[in-house]
Structure 1
């Protein structure tokens, strides 16, 4: 059997050809070139090569070599075309290699191992023509292909004697997908290797110290290759002192790692994306990462949260030692196989004096001008995004601001959860009028530096800020995301808009921010788990289009696929719970800005009487928002006395900032202040009158000295009539001549109610209703 290697001359000339194109979801996948790397008699084995865009042979980039699965009996390099394309898009040369299989060549698993070693050797020998680094080769594969990839690094022998054995056939790292790691009766393939040779090419039986870094992906429900094999392999590798990481996937069977081309509709897009991201992160950590680098959110002028443990994280070369020093503390760790590191600083004390945060590894990084104080996220849609310059009374406060810093999250989206946030810290005050006003008054009452992480975008629904994990809890959201994932046209349009960066049009900008999930992915997820006191949320307007339910979506109203007002409360409560999980912080504070007065109705009935308690108005959204108070560590900022009957973007933002600061001062700083207005406590029926008892009602009064307004009564006919109201201590006595047997109350339950009831701190009474009519 004669074997020879293709020369460099043949590689760059006669042996290069274009391979068959593969269609995946209307996208064409095809290697840039194929080249024969080995010939045995009449059998030619080829490498299917995918190059990064604009790749030059002088680039010297890493290279990943994939080996297909098929039980050493069948299979095709096309199995890894999708993965190869992914890596090429990341700037890595990717190769899907052929090797002999039994059904075509009458070969054995031992022959497959020899061919895999030949492929690695050929790539290293021809690195200069390929434009790759000969010392940055990753062997990869799935199932039996994962086995032969593992054998190139672990198993001695089985080299082709006709090759130049001075060139190593060992890769520099491995990424294995559901690999065959044990060929004995405990694993897979005993019938193919034979009882007498069952451990000869069984990777788990040849583990020793000094093996290359390895990443293993395995489905826990694998019925072909036992998951136990992967667990045992990982344990033995680490016990031998090798760097090995096992990523397990609950409920996933054999072959789950493949994308849509190879598995069709059975492919799990989310899992596939996760696999690829982790695979590339692993590759980067071995060959691309060099310097210690903190996450983008750790930069000059930042504010760290006082009074709690603070996590600092970033990247480095895998295995590199990293230390962080700040405020007299010094903590150290080691970067994992992905190059990720994370250090937790002990509780910090507030400080207006700037300090340096110092990172050390193979290089040093100094983050300068760092303060310690209160840190809050401010997020939502256009009313949170409204700029300081749009509100003169807030803009006038800017010259008086002292120790206020801001991190402005750039408005962007992503189809996957990003690890890095796009934005910068600044010693300047926040751009958001509400966020700055809040920070200004909080700094004044707390006498402590304040840092604001501002992440908002106009006309965005809550669905835009929802993690994909919430599909497990809300069927409507599961449907939305299923439709979104299947919409190839939208996916492609989003990618093209994202690629434009800041040059996108306003129409394209609107298209981005009105999609589900992708604002969370790009703007919120990468902030976690930066230590914060809590989150201020001013959003809901986009979800007031419908009183209830998710509407039928047409081409004209594509952006209305959101929950209605009555569903918002349950969804929002789930949203808060999910964010606390993401931040790993059960006591994370949430302060919610109630939607203020506005005189428009729903899509169904846009023109309403702004004082009508029965109209389809924002009153229903406010009631939904208030449901969040059933969760601990939540607060609702009452704005029922604010707003504009015609303008959805009212300018009276200063009171909102003040009220936010009051609540934060009381609930998080322990200040003895009155922070909220009167809240209905009980209702008593007495002599054809209804008596409302309030809490937070010390000094109960009206701002204009007139009788309280905004109260409506009804009997069992549910016909609402305006009530006469009188203040009696900390109660309100209500009656209505037109309602002989009043049973129910609605207070300030309309689009833009006329209200004047406050407590001694001039804070408005909260809206409520006592009926249960839907």
Structure 2
């Protein structure tokens, strides 16, 4: 993966302010009937994403928006920088200010005939965490969650949880309340993070520890959701990828919970979803590509990093045992989208629970993807082994992996498990395997002429194959049968 560090950490990128204003205000017209009633007053107001204790993205130009009387001149100031704008006919205004170094605290002030203020504002790293219940899952319900909550003394980490509110039209403001209280910026402190997304917290904590700068994490997730409602309706895939999903199912969660966040400058996105789409197979890959491209377009950040979680093994009961592996295959295929990364969780799941309690390693692995690929940390290896190519070698098959590091190994010191091979008859049988550097040699006496290999191709398959930094290999198949 090409490192985004040179462009993004240096504060490059972005879009000219005029184009950004036009983009946001065009969306405002679409959503004008749902503009928050409190903004109908004459007082100058900042948008709901802005508040005390917030984090603004450092080292990138950033946007501030709000409302005032139509035609009113508004001046925004922070950290010695000022920018002005005139409210449009709907009373909406937006300014863009130059990139700032990490640090603070600062006061953010928007002044017209009246003034609106936010105190204790920091510049740091801002990320968006989204998905379904495994992203929602709160800290105190995880492994060692009570102890982690007691020890959460990181005042430079700030969180903002978006309330759950689907909508038929794009909204400019997030819901007022979330499941864990008002939608507002919160300072991380001991015994204060229990009802916060565990994955988001551990991700932010790892970034903060490694980068030594403030981190803001915006959590916009909803239990039991499919991917389609999270996608912008204007980026709905066409053709067979859409054939089994009505267009009306697209965009509702994006409209209510993601669109209001998109204009806010951010470093990237972490995504934990897919359980709701088990059974979709490779169609899910097209839907992921549509979601990623749509969110990047809405953020005016065409290369915005997008890191996601490869689901853990799970006994799905009545479902065919290969439906989850087919979703894994689609998740891996989504890595073809530039600027993406995937963590594999085969080793930290629970085949009897759709909500594995080890969220700490999930968050840390996502953070390490960001540290390596977004922040340019060459000392960190964050990618799991992925299938590269196979070749038949007499009665065996040699399977080569990418991201093997200094060589593959097994976690328990035994031979690699959960490989199978098939001949032209397409009948897979369990195979023996041994490691040779970045390759695994696979064979079975029952298949003298192998043509295909599968690895961990079962919904409950937990394997032992890892790279030199103990990251598990992703399941795969070489056939398309």
Q: Using structure 2 for the length normalisation, give the TM-score.
A: 0.86
1:533 and 1:310 map into 2 onto residues whose CA distance is 11
Q: Is the contact between residue 597 and residue 642 of structure 1 (CA under 8 Å) also seen in structure 2? A: no
1:362 and 2:113 matched: yes
1:426 and 2:186 matched: yes
| Corresponding position of 1:523 | 257
Q: Is the contact between residue 232 and residue 251 of structure 2 (CA under 8 Å) also seen in structure 1? A: yes
Per-residue displacement from partner, 1:511-540 (whole Å, max 9, x unpaired)?
xxxx65322221111112111111111111
| Corresponding position of 2:425 | 717
1:528 and 1:744 map into 2 onto residues whose CA distance is 44
| Corresponding position of 1:119 | none
**Offset at 1:619?**
0.5
Q: Secondary structure at the match of 1:520?
A: helix
Q: Secondary structure at the match of 1:384?
A: helix
**Offset at 1:644?**
1.7
| Corresponding position of 2:179 | none
2:240 and 2:165 map into 1 onto residues whose CA distance is 27
**Offset at 1:312?**
0.8
Q: Is the contact between residue 395 and residue 448 of structure 2 (CA under 8 Å) also seen in structure 1? A: yes
Residue from 367, 373, 384 that aligns with 2:124: 373
Q: Is the contact between residue 322 and residue 457 of structure 2 (CA under 8 Å) also seen in structure 1? A: no
Aligned residues: 441
Q: Is the contact between residue 378 and residue 435 of structure 1 (CA under 8 Å) also seen in structure 2? A: yes
1:323 and 2:39 matched: no
Q: Which has the larger radius of gyration?
A: 1
Per-residue displacement from partner, 1:562-618 (whole Å, max 9, x unpaired)?
xx23311111111111111111110111111111110225xxx43x6xxxxxx3331
1:660 and 1:364 map into 2 onto residues whose CA distance is 40
2:38 and 2:312 map into 1 onto residues whose CA distance is 49
Q: Is the contact between residue 236 and residue 290 of structure 2 (CA under 8 Å) also seen in structure 1? A: no
1:710 and 1:480 map into 2 onto residues whose CA distance is 34
**Offset at 1:475?**
7.4
For structure 1, the 5+ residue unaligned runs are 1-244, 250-270, 485-514, 547-563, 609-614
| Corresponding position of 1:199 | none
Q: Is the contact between residue 419 and residue 453 of structure 2 (CA under 8 Å) also seen in structure 1? A: yes
**Offset at 1:317?**
1.0
Give matches, 1:720-739, under 5 Å: 720-739=428-447
**Offset at 1:328?**
2.1
Q: Secondary structure at the match of 2:185?
A: strand
Give matches, 1:242-641, under 5 Å: 277-278=31-32, 288-351=40-103, 353-398=104-149, 399-402=151-154, 403-422=156-175, 423-428=183-188, 429=193, 431-471=196-236, 473=238, 484=248, 516-544=250-278, 546=279, 564-600=280-316, 605-606=318-319, 615-641=321-347
1:647 and 2:353 matched: yes
| Corresponding position of 1:688 | 395
Residue from 470, 474, 478 that aligns with 1:766: 474
Q: Is the contact between residue 45 and residue 66 of structure 2 (CA under 8 Å) also seen in structure 1? A: yes
2:38 and 2:47 map into 1 onto residues whose CA distance is 15
1:274 and 1:625 map into 2 onto residues whose CA distance is 36
**Offset at 1:381?**
0.8
Q: Is the contact between residue 748 and residue 755 of structure 1 (CA under 8 Å) also seen in structure 2? A: yes
2:360 and 2:456 map into 1 onto residues whose CA distance is 21
Note closer, same or farther for the CA distance 1:292–1:448 as it changes in structure 2 (3 Å cut): same
**Offset at 1:692?**
1.8
**Offset at 1:284?**
10
Q: Secondary structure at the match of 1:297?
A: coil
Q: Secondary structure at the match of 1:596?
A: coil
**Offset at 1:686?**
1.1
1:458 and 1:739 map into 2 onto residues whose CA distance is 45
1:412 and 1:689 map into 2 onto residues whose CA distance is 54
| Corresponding position of 1:668 | 374
Normalized per residue, the structure richer in helix is 1
Residue from 352, 372, 386 that aligns with 1:679: 386
Give matches, 1:204-223, under 5 Å: none
**Offset at 1:477?**
5.2
2:153 and 2:419 map into 1 onto residues whose CA distance is 41
Give matches, 1:83-232, under 5 Å: none
**Offset at 1:731?**
1.7
Per-residue displacement from partner, 1:300-331 (whole Å, max 9, x unpaired)?
11111112111111111111111111122111
Q: Is the contact between residue 570 and residue 627 of structure 1 (CA under 8 Å) also seen in structure 2? A: no
Note closer, same or farther for the CA distance 1:292–1:387 as it changes in structure 2 (3 Å cut): same
Q: Is the contact between residue 434 and residue 440 of structure 2 (CA under 8 Å) also seen in structure 1? A: yes
Note closer, same or farther for the CA distance 1:367–1:478 as it changes in structure 2 (3 Å cut): farther
**Offset at 1:641?**
2.1
Q: Secondary structure at the match of 1:619?
A: helix
2:260 and 2:301 map into 1 onto residues whose CA distance is 16
Q: Is the contact between residue 640 and residue 748 of structure 1 (CA under 8 Å) also seen in structure 2? A: no
Q: Is the contact between residue 74 and residue 110 of structure 2 (CA under 8 Å) also seen in structure 1? A: yes
1:750 and 1:631 map into 2 onto residues whose CA distance is 26
Q: Secondary structure at the match of 2:184?
A: strand
**Offset at 1:279?**
7.4
1:461 and 1:516 map into 2 onto residues whose CA distance is 10
**Offset at 1:357?**
1.1
2:389 and 2:168 map into 1 onto residues whose CA distance is 48
CA RMSD after TM alignment: 2.6
1:375 and 1:274 map into 2 onto residues whose CA distance is 27
Per-residue displacement from partner, 1:144-199 (whole Å, max 9, x unpaired)?
xxxxxxxxxxxxxxxxxxxxxxxxxxxxxxxxxxxxxxxxxxxxxxxxxxxxxxxx
Per-residue displacement from partner, 1:241-296 (whole Å, max 9, x unpaired)?
xxxx9xxx9xxxxxxxxxxxxxxxxxxxxx9x967x54797x999xx441211110
Note closer, same or farther for the CA distance 1:298–1:474 as it changes in structure 2 (3 Å cut): farther
1:597 and 1:448 map into 2 onto residues whose CA distance is 35
| Corresponding position of 1:113 | none
2:474 and 2:212 map into 1 onto residues whose CA distance is 29
| Corresponding position of 1:156 | none
Note closer, same or farther for the CA distance 1:470–1:677 as it changes in structure 2 (3 Å cut): closer
